[in-house]
Amino acid sequence: MNAILSSLLFLGSALAAPASVELTAEELSCRNASRAILSWNIIDFDFHSSYTFSTPSHQIAGGYVNFTLENAALEYRPVCAASSSQLQDFFYGNVVYDCQVPPAPRATRPRSASTAPRGGARQPDVGLRGRRRQVHGEGRDYL
């Protein structure tokens, strides 16, 4: 009796498991290209800051950063910028970077997977499909 009950329970969970899904050619191409997204490179990095003291104890300061993101799997490069007046270090993990990307048809088309390096990492959901997107930065670096 226990064997029959166990078999029925196993059969029920096997039937509830999702069937394998076949991907379209477009989905396969996108998935293969996304494997190339192992890392993002920051190029054309520009940082500058300004410190003004109206009195010895009153400081007004601001920092500005501009950079370009680069990835072998994409045929476009998002250009990002941010500003901060947060003392003492301007850029913490709470700064939102405003990134400019091309219009949607170009921004969603990855480069050919054959030109990209091999790797097993999956594409992060970066959401670069419109004209403007925001990228949240984490961490801190000293220049």
pLDDT at 33: 66
Establish if 80 belongs to a structural domain.
Answer: yes
CB neighbourhood size of 102 (10 A): 17
Question: Is the distance from CB of 68 to CB of 78 less than 8 angstroms?
Answer: yes
Lowest mean pLDDT among 28-32, 72-76, 97-101: 28-32
Q: In angstroms, rounded to a whole number, what is the distance separating the alpha carbons of residues 99 and 67?
A: 9
Query: Domain range spanning residue 67?
Result: 40-143
pLDDT at 59: 83
* φ and ψ at residue 80, rounded to 5 degrees: -120, 155
* Cα 59 off chain centre by: 35
- Is residue 27 within a helix (H) or strand (E), and if so which, with residue range? helix 25-34
Q: What is this structure's pTM? A: 0.50
> Over 60: is that where the pLDDT of 131 sits?
no
Mean of pLDDT values over 45-74 = 87
Q: What is the total count of domains within the chain? A: 1
Average pLDDT, the chain: 67
Establish if 10 belongs to a structural domain.
Answer: no
Establish if 5 belongs to a structural domain.
Answer: no
> Over 60: is that where the pLDDT of 58 sits?
yes
> What percent of the chain clears pLDDT 90, i.e. is strictly above it?
10
Lowest mean pLDDT among 17-21, 93-97, 126-130: 126-130
Residue with tokens 């990855």: 110
Establish if 31 belongs to a structural domain.
Answer: no
CB neighbour list of residue 54: distance below 8 Å, 6 or more residues apart: 60
Establish if 90 belongs to a structural domain.
Answer: yes
Establish if 34 belongs to a structural domain.
Answer: no
Establish if 7 belongs to a structural domain.
Answer: no
DSSP-derived secondary structure letter, 2? H
Mean of pLDDT values over 19-27 = 67
pLDDT at 72: 78
Establish if 76 belongs to a structural domain.
Answer: yes
